[in-house]
Structure 1
Amino acid sequence: MPLLWILRVSFTDRLTAYKIPPEIGTVGLMNYVEIFARYPFTGWFLNSLIIALGATAIALPLATALAYAFARFNTGGTFLRLGVLASQMLPPIILVLPLFGMFLFAGLMQSHVGLIIAHLTISLPFLSWMLVSFFEGDVARLEEAARVDGATRWQAFRYIAVPVAAPGILAAGLLGFILSWNEFLFALVLSGPNSQTLPVGLAALETHAGVEIAPLAAATVVSLVPVFALLPFLRKHLIKGLSLGALK
């Protein structure tokens, strides 16, 4: 119902959008035209896409390697595992000021690279903890069989562990992309005019004259397009991946 409500509002004029009970009013694409003509919406969209893809592309292989090390070698023991999990309990506001100081010193403020690094602090621990279960159980036994047949540790990881855990890795990648795509606080503090993302741009539609609800609804619908475009292709892998770690 919330999605249907937003979709309805996105096609109505400004006056009709505020009416209770709701009315259809004038139906058209005027709100979609406005967000591209009046606001730098294309720039916001591209910035979000670049940052989300960049953060996911870096976090996913690192998280895969870290999860494999946890599952196979118990690297760092329980202490390191709990440390990775505990990092997810920190409110992002605690990390913003240290990141702001480091990025200001390193010249990464208001840049895509800076935001990608900031998003890694969220996605990397989450993805690595999520992927640990995919490298345990049957995958370990298959690797042992491959090692007996003469495969090296790297060959067993590349040709056995990663293909078998592929559904889980794809599911983790999708969730990592969504985490980065929706992130607001880091983007609000660390971005600039040339690196502003969609969540920050959508917040800018709340003006001193009130919330421009009709353009905001249109912008929200467009911002949901990448996620909904990915789901049909990855739905099977997402469901299988999220349930794989629970199966014995």
Structure 2
Amino acid sequence: MNRLAKKIVPHIILTVFSLIILMPLVWIVRVSLTDKLTAYKIPPEIGTLGLNNYVDIFERFPFVTWFANSFIIAIVSTAIALPLATAMAYSFARLNTGGALLRLGVLASQMLPPIILVLPLFGVFLFVGLTQSRVSLIVAHLSISLPFLSWMLVSFFEGDMARLEEAARVDGASRWQAFLLVAVPVAAPGILAAGLLGFILSWNEFLFVLVLSGPGTQTLPVGLASLETHAGVEIAPLAAATVVSLLPVFALLPFLRKHLIKGLSLGALK
């Protein structure tokens, strides 16, 4: 009985915690499929299920614009930040660029509240005439994702990476060739994991978009926050918009799950 209990109890605990974590998502999906009156009822009722709320958010609000802005800004900022962060992490790990002081400065930049950065950035963009543009939002997102990704990738270029590069250098490869042909392929799982996290970080960013965006450049987080009518916030359309905003992240996970787990565990082991 004790042996059986040791096997069953952990599964029960994990199942309960999984249900607790999934309950908010299940609740949002249920609300998004019900009509607007049923969504407010306490205790909750299932009611008639349908896709009217999903049609409603595209007809009444500029949801396509919000979605397109979020996708473009997240993709471009991640595509720019990832190679720069890879080069920074390699220089920190293999060349000790800037020493411990520069590495500590990169880490310290992540401890600053975003409100400290957004006001100077707004002043700079106002001076150069880039306010309320996608370019300003991409640059602002880079100020967050670039230090985070570079610090995350440092561990992937440490340890046994030096031996592999030395072997390549002995075979006649230059440092640049050793970086491109040896270091980057070996660290590819970590780079893919960092890219996924960078995309999610940019996709969820709220404060910079709230301050720097305009009517035509708002992204999904700010758009969802403004999703209200003269009668107040309508829960059912808001739930439908939330479900749609989560789809890109859930679409990426099945394809990158193996690389994400492998990349994060590789960095932890190193």
Where on the TM-score scale, by shorter chain, does this alignment land: which range?
over 0.9
Which is worse superposed, 163-172 or 198-207?
198-207
CA distance in 2, matches of 1:188, 1:209: 23
CA distance in 1, matches of 2:62, 2:157: 44
CA distance in 2, matches of 1:141, 1:20: 64
Following superposition of structure 1 onto structure 2, how do residues 15-164 of structure 1 map, counting pairs within 5 Å?
15-164=37-186
- Offset of residue 209 of structure 1: 3.0
Larger radius of gyration: 2
- Offset of residue 44 of structure 1: 0.3
* Corresponding residue number in structure 2 for 1:213: 235
CA distance in 2, matches of 1:72, 1:53: 28
Aligned partner letter, 1:190? L
- Offset of residue 20 of structure 1: 1.6
From 36, 56, 71, the equivalent of 1:14 is: 36
Aligned partner letter, 1:3? L
Give CA-to-partner distance per residue, 1:193-220, whole Å, 9 cap, x none: 1111000000011455332110000000
In the superposition, the TM-score normalised over structure 1's length comes to: 0.98
Question: Unaligned regions of 5+ residues in structure 2, if any?
Answer: 1-22
* Corresponding residue number in structure 2 for 1:172: 194
Aligned partner letter, 2:199? F
- Identical-residue share of aligned pairs (%): 85
In the superposition, the TM-score normalised over structure 2's length comes to: 0.90
Give the total of aligned pairs.
248
Aligned partner letter, 2:115? I
CA distance in 1, matches of 2:62, 2:183: 44
* Corresponding residue number in structure 1 for 2:16: none
Which is worse superposed, 136-145 or 208-217?
208-217
From 202, 208, 214, the equivalent of 1:192 is: 214
* Corresponding residue number in structure 2 for 1:236: 258
